[in-house]
Structure formats: structure tokens, C-alpha cells
Structure 1
Amino acid sequence: MLVDGEDSAAAKVIVHNSRRLTSANMDKCAGGRSGGQLLRRDSASMGRLLSFFWSLTFLLLLEVREVNASPAGRDCAKRAVGYITSWGKQPFTDEQAKRLTHLVYAFFVMKPNGELHLESETARQRLTEIMKVARAHPHLKVLYAIGGWENSQYFSLLTADHPRRSILIKNMIQTMKEFGFDGIDIDWEYPVTGGAFEGTPADRKNYVHLMRELRNQLRELEEEQGRSDGYLISFAGAAGHWVLKPGYDLAQLVKYVDFVNVMSYDYFGAWASKWGAFTGPPAPLHFAMPKKFSGRMNVHATLKYYSCQLKATNKINMGVPFYGRFWHNVGDAVDPADDMWRTATATNTEGTKFEGGDVQWRDLASKFDVSQSKFHSGAKSPFIWLAANKTFVGYENKESLGHKVDYVVENNIGGVMIWAIDFDDDQLTLLKATTENGLCLSSKVSFNYKCSPINDQRWWTYDDGEDMAGMCGKSAPLYDGFYPVCDPDDPGHACCGKYGYCGSGPEFCSCPECVDYGADPSLILKEPIKPTQAITWYTSDAGDGKRGRCGREVPPLSGEAPTCNPDDPTAHCCSNGGYCGNTKEHCECVGCVDFSKQRDFKYKPLQWWTFGENPANVGRCGPDAPRLSTGKTPKCDPDSEAFCCSQSGYCGKGESYCTCLGCVDFKANPNYEY
């Protein structure tokens, strides 16, 4: 196989010359009779020429096949990063090496004093065999990883200050040099929170310090060795937003690394927590879950977060799992029309232990009935539902990986990362599907994500409380002083619907009153983003009898009759029945108030009987009527149809109510006092 550099240049010359030879001889043959005479006259030499041409063509086809089959080909800008486990039994092969650009040996074990070592002599022998194969492929860069789920407990300690970071970095570089690696992969699971071992808030900045100091040390080593191709640094990044946001300063970290291996998998699994109850594929590409489920539990949401944080995609590798996850004791589908999303029954009374585990691709067919496999068109993921024994299996196959490769190309993602290549079968079914399905096609898109224009949060989530979760719009309770919007990066809850809740689908995104922040995140900044005046209206978290109500017949708010929000285009008017809305019945009736036009309007203190006060007294007025709760004599509402008080003490209109001796017209004399 021709490789980069001189061989690549030679290949171009060969292709150019072959085209010249082909063109010249085809011109001769195209001359009809004269061409035939030439061919007969010099058939021997022509035969030799054709023999050379077809031999050359065969070699070129082999070269093209090799280039298309391998991201390591000279025309491919995408990375194919494969992790291989130190404890695995499957050998590293030439066929795997041809299809990868980077190989990461995982893991070296980290001690609390910063020393690194291999866990056994078997692991050392395995590494020797891996390196022997890898070094036969000059294009392949080999890194080693430290950390992982089970060995990240010392990162907080060893990165806490410069002296300790220096010790760790010294040991990392010493290990790299001793075994001839091309770089280092740091798999800290996880800084600050979310890992098997909780970190500290300082982890976030200390991770950046570690990367910067490691990069500086490697640059000095490169200069010392005269190394033209630099040593590599990468890190494995979390998928979960609740881990990413507090723990990773992505914009700073990426300054010092060559690429990020995003662990965009393990969104679902039989975990030892309440979340272990929810079945699903380990790495759904798109959001396709039932209502009220998180919209961030998918590859697209994770990669969008990374891309928008970094304002670029070239250093991001999409992680793909060569394994599946399964559950036992699984119940009926959450949505009868969708077989995939289910819940499992816990095996303990606390509801935190679930029977299940993981299965490598090479073992899938021997452990589960793959003939029962289905493909979820929304999530782009295969799954197996075995109703007889209540078992659910989510995994990856050639079809799902094909969709992921398409996504990488369409969104110009830097490449793919595989955990782990030794989980594949002997035919390399998944590795071929990942690296031969167009990964090296050129992307026409430089940046295809619509990112939020703000870095802070302005939406209610379940972390803020179930009662507030998802509330949005001008009538919702304020979030940190702002009118709450919907998270544009959450495909399941990016739209604010007519009734003031975030969601997805037509009822949330396509109605006249709906706002789709996912399609246009700039709407987050559409004014007013904060109330233009003091809040004198009930927000949507108010209890029954208050929510959406206004006027004097509603319980007072801070001692005043509640209004409607003048900033809310869907509910800025108060009807004469005491409800906020935006229809003619709310805005144009007798007694209605349009607060968008009368922003300073205040209801006067109650001066007449209402149904809210006492239905039996409604319509009574004058000195002989029962006194109001304020102790004052009741009048008639000047804005109603019964604005006059008769001599006998009843509200109405006409001569007997308005113009008789002792009658009072409150429309004509609104300030009249008994």
C-alpha cells in the first residue's frame, strides 16, 4: 500500500502518466481503419503496452481500494481511533491496523504517588505484541491511556497543585518514552462529579493546568529530540451534560490537545441507580424517546454540546461502542406503539439494583436470539426484545454504524473513536462498517449546528424541582430574573408550546403561539427577556384559583387585585370574568382590560359585591345593603352593564336605576361616596 509523502507523490505521477498513455493510445485506436492497420502492424508492441497498462490499472485499483478502506489513506482527513484493552485476549492484527489512524492501549495503572505501571506481566506481553504489529504500519499513531472508570480516583489528588502535577507528568512522559508511544490519552472519569469517585470543584481548572503543563513538557521533548511530528495528547470526554458542564472547561482544554474522544455511549444501562430502570440502546444517534424523557440522552445532543462549546468540530471524535447492554425483568413498553422504551423492575426494595450487564459484539449472537432484532428508525439503533424471558438488549450493528458515519461526514466531525476494537468479531464486521462506509468522503459543511447565543441557563429543569420543570413563556415564573425559555440544545424540550411548557413535536413547535428555540436559538434574546415592570400577575406556578386569573374577584396579590402580564402576547388582557388571554372576549368586552395598552392600569379597591365575595349580595348597593368586607357601603361597577344604584338599593340601568330621586349613576359619577 502506498503511504503519505514520497510514495504519495509517486502515485500521482503514475496516475498522470497512465492517463497520458491511455489517452495517446486510444487516440490511435480511434482512427478507424488506419488505427486498425496500426494495431495489426505493431500488435506485439501494443500487446506489451496493454499488458503494462492493465498491470498498472490493477495496482492503482488496489491503491484506491486501500485508500477507501482505511482512514489512514492519504486523501482522508477523518480519524479512526481504536482503543484496545490491556486485559483482552484478541490479538491486534494487520487488518485492524490498516483501518485505524490511531490506536490507544488502555490502560496503564496510576498509583497515588503518580507512578504508572502495567497491571500484570500478561498486560506487558500483550503490549509488546501490539506494538510489533503497529510499528509495521508507519501511518498508525499509538497512544496509551491512564484513568478509566476504575482508576481515576487519584486524579484530584495528583492535579491539585503544580508540584504534584509535575510528578505525574514526569511519569507519563517516562512511560511514553520507555514503550515508544506517540502520545498520551487521559481518561479522567470524571473531574468534579459523576464518576465512581467524586472529585472536587477545583478539578475543573486543575484539569486545564495539567493539559497545559503536559503540552509544554512535550514541546520541550520534541525540540530536544528534533522530532518533526509532535507528540499527541487526547482525552476521553464525558457524554452526560450534568457531568460535562461542571467538570470540563472544554474551550480551554482543547487548546492543548490534538483531539477529544467523546464517550458518546452508555446513555442507558442496568446501572446501580434509579436510572438503571430505563431500557434503551447504549448510543442512540437521535432523540426518539417518549414524552417527559430527557432529550439529551443521545449522540446528537452530546456532539452538539461539544461543537457549540468549541465553536468547531475538527477535534471531536464520535465514540461508538462495539458492545451492547441488556436488562432482565423488563416490563411493557412505555408507549404501546414503540417497543424499545421500557422499564425494568429492581431486585432490591430501594429500587436501585437491576439485573443486567454488557455483551461484546463478538458474543452477541451466542448469548441472545438476534433473529428477534428490530431497528428503531427514530433513534437509528437496533434492539432485541425477548418477551418470553422479559429481556431487552440494545447494541450497535452495521446499519446503525452506517448512520453514525453519515452523521460524522454531514456534520464535519473530526472522526470516530471505538471502544473497543477487541470486542469486534474475527471478520471485523463493525470495524469495516465504521471505516468503509464513506467515512473518508469530503464534507460540504464547515459548521452545521445552531448554537445557543448565551452561556448561562434560562430554563427550568427537573434539577430545579419537578413542579417547575419545563415551564416557559411570559406567564411562567422567572428563572434568575429572566422570562424562562426552552433549552435549544435539548432536542426533546426545545420548543415552548401554547400552554407554557417545553417539549417537542407539532403541539409544542408548530402551533401559532409556539416558539421553536432549537430551530432558531437567537429567539432566546428576543425582547423582552425580563419583565418590563414589576410583577403584578400570577405566574403559572400559582395554585388553582389563581393561575391565569386576574381582576378583583381573584385573591389579591401583594394586597392588590392581580393583573395580566403586558409582555405576554398570549395573555395580556383580562376578561370581565377574570381570566387572562388574548381573544376579543378578553380584550374588547365591557369591563375587559388590555394591559399591553394600559400598562399603568390598577384595579380600584373593591367597591361592590362580587361572586367571589358573596354571591348572595351581588347586585346590592346603597346604605341599606350589607356592608363590604372593608366596612364600606357597596356601590355599582361603573364598567359593568349595571352601573346605576336604584333608590331601593339594587344595581341596574335605565331610568328607574339612574335618574330617579335617590338613584346614583356611577358611570357618570365614579367618585360618588355614600
Structure 2
Amino acid sequence: MNAAVKRGILLLAVLSMALALFVLPASAGTAYPSESRAVVGYYASWAAYQGVTPDQLPGDQLTHINYAFAAIDPNDSTLLLENPEQDRKNLKLLRALREKHPHLKLLISVGGWDDSLYFSNAAATAQRRERFAQSCLDFLLEHGLDGVDIDWEYPVSGGPSGMVHRPQDKQNFTLLLQAVRDKLDRQSKQDGRPYYLTIAGGAGSEYLNKIEVEAVARTVDHIFLMAYDIHGPWDTYADLNAPLYTPEENSPQYKSSVFDSVQTYLNRGMSPEKIVLGMPLYGYRYDGVSSRNNGLYSTFSSAASVPYHVLERNYLSQSKYRKLYHKEAEAPYLYGEGTFLSYETPQSMAAKAELARTHGLGGIGFWELSQDRNAVLIQSARAAFMGGAFTDVAPGDWYHEAVEYVRERGLMDGTSAGVFSPRRPVNRGMAAVIVHRLEGSPSAGKTLFLDVAQQSYCREAVSWAASKGIVGGYGDGRFGPDHTLTREQLAAILYRYARYKGYDVSGRANLTGYTDSGEIGSYAKPAMAWAVSSGLIHGLADARLAPRGIVTRAEAAVILMRFCESAAD
């Protein structure tokens, strides 16, 4: 069955999200998916050593963060932190992140590939199950978490060297989950808080044969379907990590796909709303491959995983790697100089999320958050799962309405096809372009600044805006088109444009109540007072105006919409 036919049989789900527009991010709320529509991310404890601490995670893009991993004490079957000092620091930072994003649910993930060795022992007897379940609850209460994620890799058979297995693991897994569920439900009745129980599951029938599917599904809130590592360095041949669809071409090894994994779960009676479709934020690099077929299905000499942010920096920008796309599998890959690299793009992630959405799945998720440091893949997948014009702007986002507003009026475009980049800073050149577009893009003379070239995208806009006194340079012949725009600079530009248009700019707010009002530049004080008075710029939650704070594209869209709808009336 080809990909087009498969897409044609997808169950269409009608999804509606209320549009909400708030103030700026520090004090803004996001309309998040309901708890039945999850966006889950795993954060690995070791990521902190690699420079990504929990406070850097995109809390506004997620509903759940699973902290990976806690181990199991082989002596008494209780939860065990392998690096308590660092783990406690990480958990503290996660709680601080939740304070900024109160919708977030924080779960401790137990097990994983390396730390699943003693699950079988913990599940083997009623006494051990009781001890394990109580330790899970105690851990949540001690660290202020919201739930437990069980990542047993794997019951009955499989897993790392030294793994303990029993034939009874299939039934004991259900009993272990029920013991934990009972503890969480009892605690919930006591303190009125919901507590969550989730599991991570393998991609295929081999895993499902090792668990009691229906009983497990009844017990847990959702199952994180690990729909990646379909192929990897353990194979004999270089292949695609997480193809959306299964290629029908001949292959020297087994074939499967994300689509097949989802269908397998559904065919085994799993309710779609219980499934969270897991996606990889990394690729696999295979070295020593043949040039035949651009390395696909070739033997290789070595292989390793590559985080997406490394792939962006070291591979996608290098001409020696050719960007290729397997149309049937809907999977991108690279080839060059004896190297084959299977990876994800914003578009491939959006396609996976669209599959989850049209199947009515309960959510999407990612392994592992530190590997996508700018949340490029995460934003794209989330937006596609929720639906939206840009792959990185979802209907529930606080800036969604404003982005659509400025796009429809031609004030702001995407940064590339289907991508808006809401977190990217606005620069001074783009600010000039925006007011130029507000005015209908009139013609202008030659550039007045040494650092604005005649062929620059912003040359005409800067020349026109400068000639009208709307923008100015630094006094040394430079404009600084690539310099990031601050909140006070945007206020000043809009103030001058409004004055040029003859709008009423007499309003002045008293800014003394803001703790950083003294940081406003003298040139921008009237403009900031007017912008606050007009409701264009709001103070942040901590009583600051942040006049020198950088303006993101999302913020610019919101402020522009407010300007067009109120200040220009």
C-alpha cells in the first residue's frame, strides 16, 4: 500500500482550539491542549553536563516533562537516584520551570535502557510491588512532582546485558502498574491533586506481545509509543531511523515505519487517545558506506547518533552533504563522502504530528529535549498536531491570532516556507520594513547609511523611514540593520510613525510604578509612556517594563496588531 493510499484511509478528526491573545510571554498564558492531548518531552539527567539545564527547556511548548531516569535499588526494589546531587539540582530547576508555566506536569521516569535491570524483581511479588509503588509515591511527594513514567525495557525478554527476566513479567507488569496506580489514586483523594501514571512502549508487535495490552491501557494515563530507532547502528545496513511509511522497495533487512507502529497498537485494541506518538530529536550517522543508492541500505564501518542542533550546525550547512528525500517513506537523509545520515526536518516532524492528529491520538512526544536546543523540531511538530498556518505557530499559542493578522495584511512574512520563527529576535532592518509596509511600501531615494547596501532587503524601507524621521542611525553613518530591536526602540518607531500619520499620541502613562522605569533611554521615554497608555506594550509579571529587552517576532506581531486596531483608529 503506497503512502498516498495510506493517508487516504486515515481517520479524520475534527479538532477545535479556542484562540486566545494575551500580553507578552513573561506574563502571558498559552491555550494548551487539554490533558487528553499531550505534548510530552523527556529530559535526560546527563544533559545538564552537556550545557542544557532544565531552565532552558521550552516549557511553553510542552504539557509534560519526564525526567529520565531513576533506577531501581536491587536490594529492596525502591527508586534510586544514581547521581543524587545533580538530580536534585535538576529537579529543583524543573519545579522552577513549572512555576513559570503552571500547566506543566513533571514526571519521574523510571528505567530506560540502562536502568531497567531490576524491574522484573520489583514486579515479582506482591510485597516487592507494594514497596516499589510506595517508593514512587514517596519520591513524588519529596520532590513535588506530578506523576511516574515507567520505562521498562523490556518485560519477558530483551534489554541490556544483565537484564533480569521472568516468563511471568507479562502479568507482573500489569500488577506493578496497578500497585502504583492505587497509591497515586489514594494520595489524590487525600490532597485533591491529580497524579499521573504513564509508560513508554516499544514500536511493534514484539513489545505488545510482552504486555497485557488492554489491562495496561486501562491502568495508565497514556503510553509513549517510541516510534523511533526503527533502524540504527545495531543493524547490518544503513537505514532510516523513523520513516513515516514503509518503503515497498527491496531492502536487505527488515522493514517497518511509524505508520505501521501506530496501526499495530490500534489493531491490538489500544484506544487512540491513550497513545502519545514519540519522535526523535536526533539522527544517525553511518560512516564507510557505499556511494551506491547514496548510502541507503549499505554496509557501514561505524555509526553514532547526532543531536539535531549538532546536525544543523555541522551537516546541513555543508555543501559536501547532499540533502535527499525518500518520497515513499517521507523521510529526509544526507549523503556525502562515504557518510549516510538519517535525520528529521521541521517538515518531517510536522508530517508525523499530522498523522497523530488525524488518527485522533492522545498526543505527541520527543526524545530527548536537549537535542533540539532551539526547539525547531518541537515547535513544528506541536503546531502541526494542533493545526495552524505555520508549522511553528499553533492555534492555541498566545500569538497565533496576531501572526495570522500580520500575515494576512502583508506586514510580516515567514522566515522560510511554512515557518514563522516566533522566538527569533526582530532586528532594526526588519522593523523599518514593517513600518514601510504599514505605509504601503512607498518608493524612496538612495540609502543614507554606510552599512545598508543598495541590494539589501531593507534598503528602501530604511531610506524612506529615515527620511520621515521614523528611524535614525547611530550618528556615525551606521544604521545597524542586523542589530536586535529592543522594546523601547519599537515603541519609539511606532510613536514616530503615529505622529507622522497624524494620530493622537498625547496619551502618557505614569511609569514610576515599574521597577526598571529608570532604565528607559531619554529618547524613548515619551514613546514608552504613550505605548503603555495606548495598551501597545504591557508590563511584565514582575512589575518591569524591560525597555531594553529583545523583541521577538511573536511579540512584534502582537504589538503590531494592537497598533493597527487601536492606536491607528
What TM-score results when the alignment is normalised by the length of structure 1? 0.50
Identity %: 27
Q: Please state if 1:358 is matched with 2:313.
A: no
Q: Please state if 1:431 is matched with 2:397.
A: no
Give the one of 319, 325, 341 matched to 1:375.
325
Q: Does the residue aligned with 2:386 lie in a helix, a strand or coil?
A: coil
Give the one of 169, 176, 184 matched to 1:203.
169
Residue 541 of structure 2 corresponds to which residue in structure 1? Answer: none
Larger Rg: 1 or 2? 1
Q: Please state if 1:320 is matched with 2:246.
A: no
Cα RMSD for the two superposed structures: 2.7
- CA separation in 2, counterparts of 1:153 and 1:162? 19
Residue 344 of structure 1 corresponds to which residue in structure 2? Answer: 299
Note closer, same or farther for the CA distance 1:323–1:243 as it changes in structure 2 (3 Å cut). Answer: same
Q: Please state if 1:110 is matched with 2:110.
A: no
- What's the CA shift for 1:64? 12
Give the one of 198, 222, 226 matched to 1:234.
198
- CA separation in 1, counterparts of 2:214 and 2:38? 21
Q: Which amino acid in 2 is paired with 1:385?
A: Y
- What's the CA shift for 1:224? 2.3
Q: Which amino acid in 2 is paired with 1:107?
A: F
Deviation track 1:106-132 (CA, whole Å, cap 9, x = no partner) reads 111221022323222122212211211
Q: Please state if 1:152 is matched with 2:111.
A: no
Residue 291 of structure 1 corresponds to which residue in structure 2? Answer: 250
Residue 91 of structure 1 corresponds to which residue in structure 2? Answer: 53
Q: Which amino acid in 2 is paired with 1:342?
A: Y
Give the one of 261, 267, 280 matched to 2:224.
261
Residue 129 of structure 1 corresponds to which residue in structure 2? Answer: 93
Give the one of 280, 290, 313 matched to 1:331.
290
Residue 249 of structure 1 corresponds to which residue in structure 2? Answer: 212
Note closer, same or farther for the CA distance 1:340–1:261 as it changes in structure 2 (3 Å cut). Answer: farther
- What's the CA shift for 1:296? 5.3
Residue 546 of structure 1 corresponds to which residue in structure 2? Answer: none
Are the equivalent residues in 2 in contact too, given 1:290–1:341 (CA < 8 A)? Answer: no
Note closer, same or farther for the CA distance 1:71–1:378 as it changes in structure 2 (3 Å cut). Answer: farther
- CA separation in 2, counterparts of 1:111 and 1:81? 27
Residue 221 of structure 1 corresponds to which residue in structure 2? Answer: 187
Residue 72 of structure 1 corresponds to which residue in structure 2? Answer: 32
Deviation track 1:314-342 (CA, whole Å, cap 9, x = no partner) reads 01010001011111121254xx5xx4632
Are the equivalent residues in 1 in contact too, given 2:94–2:106 (CA < 8 A)? Answer: no
Alignment of 1:378-457 (within 5 A): 378-386=328-336, 388=337, 390-425=338-373, 427-440=374-387
Q: Which amino acid in 1 is paired with 2:151?
A: D
- CA separation in 2, counterparts of 1:255 and 1:85? 28
Q: Which amino acid in 2 is paired with 1:151?
A: D
Note closer, same or farther for the CA distance 1:435–1:184 as it changes in structure 2 (3 Å cut). Answer: same
- What's the CA shift for 1:410? 1.2
Note closer, same or farther for the CA distance 1:312–1:357 as it changes in structure 2 (3 Å cut). Answer: same
Are the equivalent residues in 1 in contact too, given 2:121–2:164 (CA < 8 A)? Answer: no
Number of corresponding residues: 361
- CA separation in 2, counterparts of 1:126 and 1:142? 12
Are the equivalent residues in 2 in contact too, given 1:78–1:439 (CA < 8 A)? Answer: no
- What's the CA shift for 1:367? 3.8
Q: Does the residue aligned with 2:176 lie in a helix, a strand or coil?
A: helix
Note closer, same or farther for the CA distance 1:302–1:340 as it changes in structure 2 (3 Å cut). Answer: farther
- CA separation in 2, counterparts of 1:284 and 1:77? 26
Are the equivalent residues in 1 in contact too, given 2:116–2:152 (CA < 8 A)? Answer: yes
- What's the CA shift for 1:63? 7.5
Are the equivalent residues in 2 in contact too, given 1:82–1:418 (CA < 8 A)? Answer: yes
Residue 174 of structure 1 corresponds to which residue in structure 2? Answer: 138
Note closer, same or farther for the CA distance 1:293–1:241 as it changes in structure 2 (3 Å cut). Answer: farther
Are the equivalent residues in 1 in contact too, given 2:70–2:115 (CA < 8 A)? Answer: no
Are the equivalent residues in 2 in contact too, given 1:408–1:439 (CA < 8 A)? Answer: no
- CA separation in 1, counterparts of 2:57 and 2:251? 45
Q: Which amino acid in 2 is paired with 1:288?
A: P
- What's the CA shift for 1:366? 3.7
Are the equivalent residues in 2 in contact too, given 1:71–1:100 (CA < 8 A)? Answer: no
Q: Which amino acid in 1 is paired with 2:184?
A: L
Q: Which amino acid in 2 is paired with 1:213?
A: A
Deviation track 1:503-539 (CA, whole Å, cap 9, x = no partner) reads xxxxxxxxxxxxxxxxxxxxxxxxxxxxxxxxxxxxx
- CA separation in 1, counterparts of 2:309 and 2:29? 21
Residue 153 of structure 2 corresponds to which residue in structure 1? Answer: 189
Are the equivalent residues in 2 in contact too, given 1:71–1:99 (CA < 8 A)? Answer: no
Deviation track 1:161-182 (CA, whole Å, cap 9, x = no partner) reads 1111111111111111100111
Note closer, same or farther for the CA distance 1:256–1:198 as it changes in structure 2 (3 Å cut). Answer: same
Note closer, same or farther for the CA distance 1:428–1:181 as it changes in structure 2 (3 Å cut). Answer: same
Q: Does the residue aligned with 1:135 lie in a helix, a strand or coil?
A: helix
Note closer, same or farther for the CA distance 1:217–1:324 as it changes in structure 2 (3 Å cut). Answer: same
Note closer, same or farther for the CA distance 1:69–1:412 as it changes in structure 2 (3 Å cut). Answer: farther
What TM-score results when the alignment is normalised by the length of structure 2? 0.59
Deviation track 1:645-674 (CA, whole Å, cap 9, x = no partner) reads xxxxxxxxxxxxxxxxxxxxxxxxxxxxxx
Q: Which amino acid in 2 is paired with 1:115?
A: T
Greater relative contact order structure (CA < 8 Å, 6+ sep): 2
Q: Which amino acid in 2 is paired with 1:98?
A: D
- What's the CA shift for 1:398? 0.4
Q: Which amino acid in 1 is paired with 2:127?
A: P
Q: Which amino acid in 2 is paired with 1:110?
A: I
Q: Please state if 1:142 is matched with 2:97.
A: no
- CA separation in 2, counterparts of 1:251 and 1:126? 35
Are the equivalent residues in 1 in contact too, given 2:55–2:96 (CA < 8 A)? Answer: no
Deviation track 1:354-391 (CA, whole Å, cap 9, x = no partner) reads 511101111113443555221221111111111x2x11
Q: Which amino acid in 2 is paired with 1:309?
A: R
